Amino acid sequence: MSDEPLLSVRDLEVVFHTERERIHAVDGVTFEIREGQTVGLVGESGSGKSVTARSILGLVDEPGRIEGGEILYRGEDLTEDNWADHRGDIAIVFQDPTNSLNPVYTIGNQIEEALRIHQDLRGRAATDRAIELLEDVGIPDAPRRVDEYPHQLSGGMAQRAVIAMALACDPDLLVCDEPTTALDVTIQAQILDLLAELQAEQDLAILFITHDMGVIEDATDWVNVIYAGEVVERAPTEALFDHPAHPYTRALLESIPGRTDPDERLPTIEGEVPTPTGPATDCRFAPRCPEAFEDCRSVAPEHVSLDGDRSAACLLHDPARSDGGERQ
Amino acid sequence: MAGAHGPSSDAADDEVTPETASTILPTESPTLVWVGLGAGLLAFEVGALATFLVAILSDTLAAASLPGVGFVEGIEAAARQLPTLLSRETVPNEGYWNGQRWVGTFLGLRPEVAWGIRVALVYLYALAVAGWAVLGYRLYRREYRAADWTPRDDVIDRFRNHGWGLFGLAVVFMFVVMAVFAPALGPTTVDKNMRNSYDNELTYWDAETDSVETILVGEANLASQSRGDGEERVGPMEYDDFGRFHPFGTLPTGRDLFTFIAVGSRISLVIGLLSVGLSVGVATSLALIGAYYKGRVDLGMVLVSDGVMAMPQLLLLIMLTTVLKDTWVAGLYSGAFLLALIFAFTGWTYMWRSLRGPALQVSERQWIDAAKSFGQRPRTIMRQHMLPYITGYLLIYGSMTLGGAIIAIAGLSFLGLGVSPPTPEWGRAVNLGQEYVDTGSWHISLIPGLLITLVVTGFNALGDGIRDAIDPRSDAAGSDADDGAAAGRGGGA
Amino acid sequence: MSRLRYIAKRVALSVPVVWLGTTMTWAIIYLGPIDPATRLLSEGQTQNPAAYEAARTQLGLDQPPLQHYFDWMGSLLTFDLGQTWLLYQGSDVNALILDFLPRTLWLGFWSVLIAVCIGVPLGFYAGMRSNTASDYVASMGGIVWRAMPNFWLGIMLLAVLGSSQAIFGFDWQSLWIELDALTGSPDLSRLHTVEGFLAATKKVLPAAIVLGSASMGNEMRIGRTAVLEVRNEDYVDLARAKGVSERALVWKHIFRNALIPLVPIITSEAFLLIGGSVLVETVFSINGIGLLFFNAATQGDLPLVGTLMYVFILLIVGVNLLQDVLYTVIDPRVGLEGA
Ligand code: SF4
């Protein structure tokens, strides 16, 4: 692996302007992805993970705006409005496959559109390539399917077609925003397998955005846990699952079925993710944190490096406030 | 009114403590005070209210030529004796210049000022009543309702922040007040100025003879006609030669346009409300029945409504008004009642179309199946489990259809159908002024048209506001298409 | 194939609709409280029993109602529409309709065209620039425009055009092509010549603008929300991520989808147009079928009213079928969902 990360997001700030307030949906997110790596971004809904995904592709809709930080793709800052130069290098797959395909054009038409832009294929050649791609993503009877309209495909098939469309751009990085959430469990597994396969074959980097710790465990090498617009813990997947450092990560892990005592009720995290409207003056998890102590309400925790490359933003790990840490 | 209470006071509503109670009414027993205020407000208008109610009754009886007319007329006369504080008698604007000063006007003021005061008082009074109602609702919400919060509170709060909807509400409020207080608002009355103008006299200052003269109102009208430029017109905010003030000018017949419009607003509103009420009733029952039984029942309804809709609404209106114009129903309230019936008959389809989707959606819910499995009767299921979910749509489409009805009524009376003369109707004013638009008497057609536009916009805005308040995410192309169907825009008038 | 089946189904469904509408018309006219025969006779003749009986026989009213109903429906079906009684007395109804209908169609054609050509682009424009000043101006304009009564707008427009010299500095009547009068029927006999075509167009233009006003407002509003909605769809974002140029994004991905909700609006405006034609033709004195209907109704030629209503029903149902066909062209989902 080269030294320079493929994509590096630094201190990303995305603000939504409503009539009354500024909502900091993403408030200083930092993480990176190396070539061929699968990185997870995990958090509850409302934590800012989808906005982060959209920011990477420059797809934040009004009234949202990227107001700070940088998104470096191979060292080049995309936030300086040069997404257009890198279209196709980064592709995205959304949660709901039925909304991801334009209902009035055939599957083939939409894949060929990408092929025309990125591989300069037209006519027969483009159609043949589109059929190949559909076969690659495991769509049976591809020559017929290529002329069908999106509503004629099942959810799982449609998501495969979306992935085929993404591949038609010949990307280096595939951003998957909850790609399996809208699908049945068995189909979820198939899509995850497909992505793993494609990654192995094409040396594709994948950014997995999900709320599902199970998916993270199965599919990723590295995890960033995001809470209220901030990354609160980052670690290699295995290490994170073995020794979660941040209380929020622990809470997330406890809510996976089968990880705790089967007789006990599955713990859930009480409360909701707050929507930050100003700079942090405390730990945003404090109101829900089972391990919160006094300082948590007056100090905003910074990332503390832990063993390996991992880090966590929790005062428990801050040596200066070790009184909390010792309670462990 | 509603806007006066900021969102901050909502927080106070949540806790019922003596302190917060006092923020609304500084007293121990707010309810009593509220009732007292209501009684006080009512006292201003007892006479008008009684007269109005009795008049409707006698009108109906007379038109249907039922017995008891004489008796009711007796009550009517008695009702007129009741005092009304906000009436033209209390604040008169009709007087005459006797050479030195105005005689017979309120405090001897100029007629325009006296009239202006009366209009201002009426609107202040209406605002007070509206404020009183809002107060009552807030009182109820805080003191009597068991729940601290219901989803409806959110709807109301959302509406309060919807500028466009509030604009609609304001326009509709102005219009309704105009309709309700029509007799008190006009500078003169329909009876004196139009219906029986040759039975009423008028005193005025004759500048030529330098003396106070009397003349029949009808003759004075003939000399105050608006049929052209300069001398041949009495424009808006002008006096005629007889010292009468005309806020909107005069009609080509010399009658007062403002009085005409104020009274016309009442008939538009009555027809509109009646027809929308009827079509809402029909459309709702059919939508519920169709959604409950589905299948053939639903298909049958689709066919029938398509059949009715295949006849363009305005043409159907024209056909029905001509065919039915000599029947006794047509005599009720100058034909307004018949018109409302015809509207309901031709208009329910549009409303039903818009309700069908939501009704079908509700009928798919599990609680409907659950209720069926408990053996509840279809009627009960429809009323208790399905109806509440479509009432919101009723408000939205009701408001928009009302706007359409007002345009269509005006269109019909423009053509000389529907509301029979001399009962004023806005469309007829447009028709009367048609010949004179390119002269100095442009006001006759222009003003009623502008008012129709404003009122219809108001009703549409109100509907928009209610929709956004009920379902903030519904700003969809689909729902707009439904509005188009529901409003029907008066069938193209 | 299923698209063809879908259309066939719509055609089949429109038969009972025509039947129901026509039956209701018959019931209103022949079972209603007015005796069509008396209305056809002049004041003096109503007293004359012989004339009255003759009128009844000619209308077929001496037969039992059911028999009359079947006869009447039969003659409508075969377009054996007979002769007029009162209006244009004694002329052939078929010929009358053929004479009057083209003028209304000409007016309707232009009003649809103007409404679509102005309303839809304006709505799309407002939708693409949502929440900007130009959006607000366009939206407000559309809302107010929609709320204006046609007959009033017509009068005002005529007044403005009548004094266009004073207001705009040019005279509408003599601009480009000299018109004999501001109002009146267009001359459709010379449509094949360029000048005749332009003259006929200019003549109905003000009327068409008025008649199309409500539709224009509707189309603008729907167009705006449709664009707004489509713009936020995932597939548009995905297309953008794919590298589709902004131009192609707008034209291929946004507008095409935004057109779908507009189809029913444009066609449902047939109701507004046909209804509105009565008023607009009255204001602009255009001898169209709407005015004919109105005159027949007010003067008591009820048989003609019924016949014309039948023509209107056919027109409306025809437009609805056209809408279904358009739908299948524009939206691939129609007819395939098994709906
Ligand atoms: S800083 Fe405090 S409140 Fe925040 S996660 Fe750590 S222990 Fe919990």
- For a ligand 1 pocket test, name from A232, A270, A289, A294 the mutation site with the most ligand atoms within 8 angstroms of its C-beta: A289
The finding on whether A291 has its CB within 6 A of some atom of ligand 1 is: yes
Same domain, B96 and B227: yes
The verdict on residue A310 lying in a domain is yes
Look at residues B133, B149, B171, B151 and name the one whose alpha carbon lies nearest to residue B464: B171
Q: Which residue has the higher pLDDT, B74 or A232?
A: A232
The verdict on residue A181 lying in a domain is yes
Q: Across the interface, do C21 and B311 touch by the CB < 8 Å criterion?
A: yes
Instruction: Name, in order, each residue with C-beta under 8 angstroms of C274's C-beta and a sequence gap of 6 or more.
Output: B312, B315, B492, C108, C290, C312, C315, C316
Same domain, B236 and B302: no
Domain C-terminal end among A144, A170, A196: A170
Query: Residue B343 has what pLDDT?
Result: 84
Q: How far is CA C319 from CA C7, C22, C259, in A?
A: 13, 17, 18
Task: Grade residue B491 by pLDDT with cuts at 50, 70 and 90.
Answer: low
Distance B102 CA to ligand 1 centre (A): 82
Same domain, A113 and A235: no
- Residue B24 pLDDT exceeds 80: no
Average pLDDT over residues C101-118: 88
Number of B to C CB contacts under 8 A, please give it: 200
Element (H, E) at B202: strand B201-206
Q: Phi then psi for C282, rounded to 5 degrees?
A: -65, -50
The finding on whether A313 has its CB within 6 A of some atom of ligand 1 is: no
When scoring A95, A102, A118, A176 by the number of chain C Cβ atoms within 10 A, the one with the most, hence best to mutate, is A102
The verdict on residue B344 lying in a domain is yes
pLDDT digits (tens, 9 = 90+) for B363-386: 887 777 888 888 788 888 888 778
The verdict on residue B220 lying in a domain is yes
**Residue B411 · residue B229 · CB < 8 Å:** no
CA C304 vs. chain centroid, Å, equals: 19
Query: Residue B269 has what pLDDT?
Result: 87
Domain C-terminal end among A170, A187, A217: A170
Q: What is the CATH number of the domain that holds A188?
A: 3.40.50.300
Report CA dihedral (C268, C269, C275, C279) to the nearest 10 degrees. Answer: 170
Q: What is the pTM of this model?
A: 0.78
Look at residues B250, B269, B182, B270 and name the one whose alpha carbon lies nearest to residue B429: B250
Average pLDDT over residues C205-233: 85
What ranges in B234-312 are assigned the alpha helix state H? 257-293, 295-309
| Of A140-144, A167-171, B387-391, minimum mean pLDDT range | B387-391
| Of A251-260, A264-273, C202-211, minimum mean pLDDT range | A264-273
The verdict on residue B6 lying in a domain is no
The DSSP string of A132-159 is: HHHHHTT-TTHHHHTTS-GGGS-HHHHH
Provide Rg for chain C, Cα atoms: 24
Average pLDDT over residues B324-333: 73
The finding on whether A15 has its CB within 6 A of some atom of ligand 1 is: no
The verdict on residue B128 lying in a domain is yes
Same domain, B245 and B331: no
C89: number of Cβ within 10 Å: 10
Query: Residue A41 has what pLDDT?
Result: 92
Q: What is the CATH number of the domain that holds B415?
A: 1.10.3720.10
The verdict on residue B390 lying in a domain is yes
**Separation of alpha carbons B364 and B344, rounded Å:** 29
SS3 C87: coil
Provide Rg for chain B, Cα atoms: 26
Task: State whether CATH 3.30.930.10 applies to domain C106-298.
Answer: no
Same domain, A188 and A270: yes
Same domain, B297 and B314: yes
pLDDT digits (tens, 9 = 90+) for A236-267: 999 999 888 899 998 888 877 766 665 666 56
- Residue B287 pLDDT exceeds 60: yes
pLDDT digits (tens, 9 = 90+) for C232-268: 888 888 888 888 888 888 888 888 888 888 877 777 7
pLDDT digits (tens, 9 = 90+) for B225-235: 777 776 777 77
Task: Grade residue B1 by pLDDT with cuts at 50, 70 and 90.
Answer: very low
Average pLDDT over residues A167-194: 87
Q: Which residues of A touch C257 (CB under 8 A)?
A: 102-104
**How do the domains of chain C map onto residue ranges?**
1-87+300-339, 106-298
Report the length, in residues, of chain C: 339
Range of the domain at A198: 7-89+171-317
Instruction: Name, in order, each residue with C-beta under 8 angstroms of B422's C-beta and a sequence gap of 6 or more.
Output: B190, B194, B195
Same domain, B194 and B266: no
The finding on whether A251 has its CB within 6 A of some atom of ligand 1 is: no
The verdict on residue B10 lying in a domain is no
- Residue A79 pLDDT exceeds 50: yes
Query: Residue A131 has what pLDDT?
Result: 92
Instruction: Give how many domains chain A has, as a whole number.
Output: 2
Same domain, B283 and B305: yes
Range of the domain at B112: 91-148+187-255
Same domain, A241 and A309: yes
Instruction: Give how many domains chain B has, as a whole number.
Output: 2
**Ligand 1, atom 3, residue with closest C-alpha:** A286
| Of A202-211, B326-335, C279-288, minimum mean pLDDT range | B326-335
The verdict on residue A247 lying in a domain is yes
Same domain, B239 and B292: no
Domain C-terminal end among A147, A170, A193: A170
**Separation of alpha carbons A117 and A87, rounded Å:** 9
Mean pLDDT value across chain C? 81
Domain C-terminal end among B255, B273, B294: B255
Q: Largest Cα–Cα distance of chain B, in whole Å? A: 90
What ranges in chain C are assigned the alpha helix state H? 2-30, 36-40, 43-46, 49-59, 65-77, 93-128, 133-147, 150-162, 164-168, 194-211, 213-231, 234-241, 246-248, 256-258, 262-283, 289-299, 302-330
Domain C-terminal end among B255, B282, B307: B255
Q: Across the interface, do C264 and B319 touch by the CB < 8 Å criterion?
A: no
Same domain, A175 and A158: no
Q: Number of helices (H) and strands (E) in chain B: give both, helices first.
A: 20, 6
Parallel, antiparallel or unpaired: strands A173-177 and A205-210: parallel
Same domain, B212 and B303: no
CA C71 vs. chain centroid, Å, equals: 29
Same domain, B291 and B381: yes
- For a ligand 1 pocket test, name from A227, A306, A314 the mutation site with the most ligand atoms within 8 angstroms of its C-beta: A314
- For a ligand 1 pocket test, name from A291, A304, A321 the mutation site with the most ligand atoms within 8 angstroms of its C-beta: A291
The verdict on residue B39 lying in a domain is no
The verdict on residue B235 lying in a domain is yes
Same domain, B218 and B330: no
Work out the minimum CA distance from C194 to partner chain B, whole angstroms. Answer: 32
Distance A283 CA to ligand 1 centre (A): 6
**Separation of alpha carbons B214 and B306, rounded Å:** 61
- Residue A154 pLDDT exceeds 70: yes
pLDDT digits (tens, 9 = 90+) for B34-64: 888 888 887 777 777 777 777 777 766 665 6
**Separation of alpha carbons A149 and C261, rounded Å:** 19
- Residue C195 pLDDT exceeds 70: yes
Mean pLDDT value across chain A? 84
Query: Residue C338 has what pLDDT?
Result: 41
Task: Grade residue B16 by pLDDT with cuts at 50, 70 and 90.
Answer: very low
Q: Across the interface, do C241 and A87 touch by the CB < 8 Å criterion?
A: yes
Q: How far is CA B184 from CA A94, B75, B87, B180, in A?
A: 64, 21, 5, 9
Same domain, A127 and A31: no
The finding on whether A296 has its CB within 6 A of some atom of ligand 1 is: yes
Domain C-terminal end among B235, B255, B275: B255
Query: Residue B62 has what pLDDT?
Result: 65
Cβ burial of C205 (10 Å; 0-12, 13-18, 19+) is middle
- Residue B479 pLDDT exceeds 60: no
**Separation of alpha carbons B355 and B350, rounded Å:** 9
Query: Residue C41 has what pLDDT?
Result: 66
Q: Which residue has the higher pLDDT, C105 or B23?
A: C105
Q: Which residue has the higher pLDDT, B271 or C32?
A: B271
Q: Out of A59, A94, A105, whose CB is closest to C240?
A: A59
Same domain, A111 and A249: no
Same domain, B285 and B410: yes
- Residue C131 pLDDT exceeds 80: no
